[in-house]
Structures are given as C-alpha cells and as structure tokens.
Structure 1
Amino acid sequence: MELSLILKPDAVRAVHGVSSKKRLFQDLADLAKVVYGLDSMVALNSLQERESLGPTGVGHGVALPHARLDGLERVSGVFFRLDKAFDYGSVDKAPVDLVFALFAPRDAGVDHLKALALVSRTLRDPAVCRQLRANTDAATLHAVLTAARDIKAA
C-alpha cells in the first residue's frame, strides 16, 4: 500500500482558523465530499462516532481521525496542516497541527489497518513532520507525504 494511492493531491490543504474538533471534522468531511464524493454528513458522523470511542490524537501534534463508511470502494485520505495547533485531547496533551483523516469501506478489514499503520509510521518520523510544518503549499505537502512513503515502504 502506498500513500499516493490513498491520498489524492487535491485532498491536501494548509488550513486556517480551525480551533475545535467539531470544526475540523466538518472541514475534513467537506473536503472528502469534494475530492472523493463522500456524503459529508455521513463522513462527519462517522468521524465523531469513532472519536467518541477515544481520541485519535496520537501525540507530537499529530491526529489520525478515521472512520468506516458504507458505500466506499477503497481507503481514502485527507490531510490538513493547520496554521495554529489546538487542544485535540491527544494522549500526550500536545496541541495538534497535523491531521491525516482516513475513510475506509466498512468491510475493508486489513486494508484499513494497513493504511492506518502506513500513515502512523509516516507521521511518526520527526523529519517528515518538520517538513510538513515548514510548508503551506498543498503540492509540497503532498510531495513530502508521498516521498516519505517511498522511504518508509515496508
């Protein structure tokens, strides 16, 4: 599995003005609708439902919200680099500014887990996170994420 197969270039944004999880999830769902044709309300509700089980802030300013949806054909991602970090309720209490949301078919099984592991590995790399935080151009952010995949391929 490769990040370039999960994350379309137009699903990457540098985002301004997000200061709550509710707003973040709405913006992620809205972009998933535009890029992947997902129902934004279903995507939003699924993200919130998963988050109610426990925070998806994994630490070091990174969050990996994810949801399983009916009617989706393959795992798809949306990435946001936030201009200002906000309190996400992460495990390490650090505010979040890098968000990679995954949307998977309800029956994706191992593909969902592989995608989550790939994204997690990529965003655990401090050099990748530094590059992401140093850039606001969407094409550059996408290139950093997909180049990181090439380095980390398993």
Structure 2
Amino acid sequence: MQLSTLLKPSAVRVIGTLSSKKRLFQELGDIAASVHGLRTQDVVEALLEREGLGPTGVGQGVALPHARLAGLESVQGAFVRLEKPIEFDAVDRKPVDLVFALFAPEDAGVEHLKALATVSRTMRDSALCTKLRANVDPLTLHAVLTEGASIQAA
C-alpha cells in the first residue's frame, strides 16, 4: 500500500498552536469534512471513541489517531504538523507534533490494518520525521511523506 493513495495533498496542514488533543481532533474533523466529505462531528466523535480505548501517540512526537466511519469507500488519511507540540498521552509521555490520522470505512478489515502498518512504518523513520519537522509548506510535507513511503516500499 502506498501513502500516495491514502493522502491527498489537500489533506496536509501545518497548524501553529492548539490547546488540546480534542482541539486537534476538531481540526482533523474539519480536514476530513473538506477533503473526504465526512461530517466533522462524526469524525471527532469516532476519534475520541477510539482514543478512549488507548492513546494513539506512538512516541517520538508522533501520533496515529484512526477511526472507522460510515460514508467512506476506502481508507483515507490526513496529516498535520504542529508548530507547537501538544500533550497527547503518548507511550513515551512526550508531546506530539506530527499527526497522521486514518479514516477507514466501517467494514474495512485488512485494508485498514495494512494502511495503519504502512503509516506506522513510515512515521518510525527518524530521518523522514526530521524532514517533516524542517518544513512548513503542506505540498512539501506531502511530497516528503509520499516519496519516503515509495522509497521504503521499493
């Protein structure tokens, strides 16, 4: 699975300051609404519900929130780079500044897991994360993410 199939350039954003994880989920809901045609509130509720099962902050400043939602035909993503990291209850207790969210159809089984594995592998690459933190242009961030995943898949 390639990140370029999951992540549209319009679903990549840089955000200056957020006050909380819930506010981040609101931003992700807004992105999902504008790019993927979902309802913001549905996305926020689904992300909060999933987060209630256990935090999706995987460490090293990275979070991978994800949720299943009605109205999707395939797994879709959104990426947010935060200029000011926020507390996220990550496994290493460090604040988060790189967030790759996945939105999957309600009945997506293997497809959702493959997408999550691809994103997880990509975001574990410390050199790639350094490049993401060094850029503020959404199109550059999209290119770094999608090119990095293609190179890793090769």
Quick one: which amino acid aligns to residue 64 of structure 2? Answer: L
Moved more, 12-21 or 50-59: 12-21
Q: How much does 1:17 deviate?
A: 1.4
Quick one: which amino acid aligns to residue 117 of structure 1? Answer: A
Corresponding residue of 1:63: 63
Corresponding residue of 1:90: 90
Q: How much does 1:16 deviate?
A: 1.2
Corresponding residue of 2:32: 32
Residue deviations 1:34-90, cap 9 Å, x none? 001011111110000000000000000000000001121100000000001111100
Residue deviations 1:21-42, cap 9 Å, x none? 0100000001110001011111
The question of 1:44 aligning with 2:48 is answered: no
Normalised to the residue count of structure 2, the TM-score between the two structures is: 0.98
Normalised to the residue count of structure 1, the TM-score between the two structures is: 0.98
- For residues 71 and 26 of structure 2, the distance between their equivalents in structure 1, rounded to whole angstroms, comes to 20
Corresponding residue of 2:150: 150
The 5-angstrom pairing of residues 1-150 of structure 1 reads 1-150=1-150
- For residues 95 and 54 of structure 2, the distance between their equivalents in structure 1, rounded to whole angstroms, comes to 16
Q: How much does 1:19 deviate?
A: 2.5
Unaligned stretches of 5+ residues in structure 1: none
Identity, % of aligned pairs? 64
Would you say how many aligned residue pairs link Structure 1 and Structure 2?
A: 154
Alignment RMSD (CA, Å): 0.8
- For residues 41 and 144 of structure 2, the distance between their equivalents in structure 1, rounded to whole angstroms, comes to 30
User: SS in structure 2 opposite 1:51?
Assistant: helix
- For residues 114 and 18 of structure 2, the distance between their equivalents in structure 1, rounded to whole angstroms, comes to 28
Q: How much does 1:18 deviate?
A: 1.1
Residue deviations 1:104-137, cap 9 Å, x none? 0011100000000000000000000000000000
